Chain A
Amino acid sequence: MRLSRTLPHDFGFTDEHQMLQSEARRVLAERFGRATLRRWIEGGGEHDAELYQALAELGWCGLTIEERYGGAGLGYSHLAVLAEEIGRALLPAPCLASITAAEAIALAGDDAMKVRWLPAIADGSKLATAAVDSRTGVVAAQTADLFVVDQTLAERDAVTIEPDAGLDVTKPTATVKLTGQGTTQRTTLKQSEAFQTRALLIAAAEATGAAEAVLVMTRDYAIERHQFGKPIGAFQAVSHPIVDMMIGIENARSLTYACAAALDSDNGDAKVLSRMAKAAASDALSFAVAKGVQLHGGFGFTWDCDVHFYFRRSLYERAALGDPTDHRAWLGEYLLAEES
Chain B
Amino acid sequence: MSDEDLAAFGREVKSYLTANRPAEPDFVMPQSFLEVETEQQFTYLRAWQRQLYEAGHLGFDVPEQYGGRGVDQARHAIVMRELANAQMPFLVNTIGLRWVVPTILKYGTEEQKQRLVKPILSTDHIWCQGFSEPEAGSDLASLQTRAVRHEDGYRVTGHKVWTTLAHFAQFMILLARTDAEANKYRGLSYFLFPMGEEGVTIQPLLKMSAEGGFNQVIFDDAPMPHDALLGKEGQGWEVAMATLTFERGAAGVSGEATSGTSEMLDRLVKCARDSPRKDDRVLRDRLASLWIDTEAARFGERRAAQHLPAERPMALPMMSKLVRSEIDQDMAALGCDYIGKTARLGIDDPAAPDEGEWPRAYMNSFGFTIGGGTSEIQRNLLAERVLGLPRSR
Contact = CB atoms under 8 A, between A and B. Distances in A.
Interface of A: 1, 3, 5, 7-11, 13-15, 17-18, 21-22, 212, 219, 222-223, 230-231, 233-236, 239-240, 242-244, 246-247, 250-255, 257-258, 273, 276, 279-280, 325, 327-329, 331-333, 335-336, 340
B357 interface: no
Nearest to A13: B307
Contacts of B388: 219, 223
Nearest to B266: A1
A262 to B, nearest CB: 10
A233 B389 contact: yes
Given A3-B295, A251-B323, 5 more contacts: A21-B310, A235-B392, A247-B322, A254-B300, A325-B285
B309 A253 contact: yes
A332 B311 contact: no
A3 B278 CA distance: 22
Nearest to B307: A13
A318 to B, nearest CB: 16
B291 interface: yes
Contacts of B11: none
**How many residues of B sit at the interface, in one of the four size bands?**
35 or more
Contact of B269 (A240, A252, A335): A335
Max chain A Cβ within 10 angstroms of own Cβ: one of B293, B376, B387, B388: B387
Contacts of A253: 303, 309
A219 B387 contact: yes
B17 interface: no
A8 B3 contact: yes
Identify whether the interface residues of A are mostly helix, strand, loop, or mixed. Answer: helix
Contacts of A255: 292, 295-296, 299
B319 A333 contact: no
Nearest to A252: B296
Contacts of B265: 1
20 contacts: A1-B262, A10-B307, A15-B307, A212-B311, A233-B390, A236-B392, A239-B392, A240-B383, A242-B387, A243-B387, A246-B387, A251-B300, A252-B296, A255-B292, A257-B303, A273-B295, A276-B296, A325-B285, A332-B285, A340-B270
B51 interface: no
B386 interface: yes
Interface in B298-352: 299-300, 302-303, 305-307, 309-312, 315-316, 319, 322-323
Contacts of B380: 236, 239
A234 B387 contact: no
A223 B391 CA distance: 11
Max chain A Cβ within 10 angstroms of own Cβ: one of B3, B273, B309, B323: B309
Given A18-B307, A251-B296, A239 B3 contact: no
A243 B303 CA distance: 19
Nearest to B295: A276
A253 B308 CA distance: 12
Interface in B276-304: 278, 281, 284-285, 287-289, 291-293, 295-297, 299-300, 302-303
B299 A243 contact: no
B347 to A, nearest CB: 25
A18 B308 CA distance: 9
B292 A231 contact: no
Given A1-B266, A9-B302, A242-B383, A280 B292 contact: yes
B74 interface: yes
Contacts of B284: 328-329, 332-333, 336
Nearest to A84: B309
A9 B389 contact: no
Contacts of B281: 329, 332
Contact of A231 (B74, B287, B289, B390): B390
Given A9-B74, A246-B315, A250-B316, A233 B383 contact: yes
B272 interface: yes
B384 to A, nearest CB: 8
B218 interface: no
Contact of A328 (B272, B285, B296): B285
A192 to B, nearest CB: 24
B299 A258 contact: yes
A332 B288 contact: yes
Query: Which 5 pairs between the two chains have the least Cβ-Cβ distance?
Result: A251-B296, A332-B284, A332-B288, A328-B288, A239-B383
A335 B295 contact: no
A244 to B, nearest CB: 8
Contacts of B305: 9
Contacts of A327: 288
A11 B303 contact: yes
Contacts of A13: 306-307
B140 interface: no
Contact of A331 (B288, B300, B315): B288
A219 B287 contact: no
